[in-house]
Amino acid sequence: MDDVDRALVNALQDGLPVARRPFDAVADRLGIGVDELLARLQRLLDRRMLSRFGPMYNAERMGGCVSLCAMGVDAERLDAVAELVNAHPEVAHNYEREHALNLWFVLATETPERHAQVLAEIERESGCRVHDMPREQEYFIGLRLAV
C-alpha cells in the first residue's frame, strides 16, 4: 500500500458521500481521478488487502438471517476447512481462535431456510459440527481501523 491507497481506505471507511457521483467526490478529495480510484480499489480487493467493499445491510429487516458460527477443527485441516467455509458466498469472513472452537465465521443469508441449508452444507462438506449462534441484539460500535 502506498500513501494514496492508505488515504483511500481511510476515506472509504467514513462512508461514501450522498452525491450523484460519490466516487468522483472521493477522488476529488484525494486529488486523483475517479478511474485511478476505482483501479486502486479493485487492486486492493484483488490482492486481498481488502476482503470486501460494499454496503452493510440489516439482513433480518429484509427477511434474512445472521449468526456467528464456530467450529472445532483439527489443526492440520484448518486451512482446508476454512477454504470450504469461504467458498460459500453467504460467509462474510472467518478467523482462527485459540480455543476448542478454533474456526469462527459470520453467516448472513437471504432467508432463514437458506441459513439452515448453508449450515448443513458446511457440516457435510467439512465433517465438523457447526455451532450456530444467532444474533439476538445488535450494537453499533463504530469500528474504524486507520491505515
Q: Are residues 69 and 125 in the same domain?
A: yes
Do 30 and 87 reside in the same domain of the chain? no
| Residues 64 and 119 occupy one common structural domain | yes
Quote the pTM value: 0.65
Together in a domain, 98 and 122 = yes
Q: Which of 28, 19, 18, 21 lies closest to 8 in space, CA to CA?
A: 28
Amino acid identity, residue 100? A
Q: Domain range holding 72? A: 60-134
* Residue 77 DSSP SS3: helix
Let me know whether 35 and 68 are in one domain: no
d(CA 58, CA 65): 9
Is the pLDDT reported for residue 75 higher than 80?
A: yes
pLDDT tens by residue, 16-62: 888 999 999 999 999 999 999 999 999 999 998 887 777 666 777 77
pLDDT score recorded for residue 57: 66
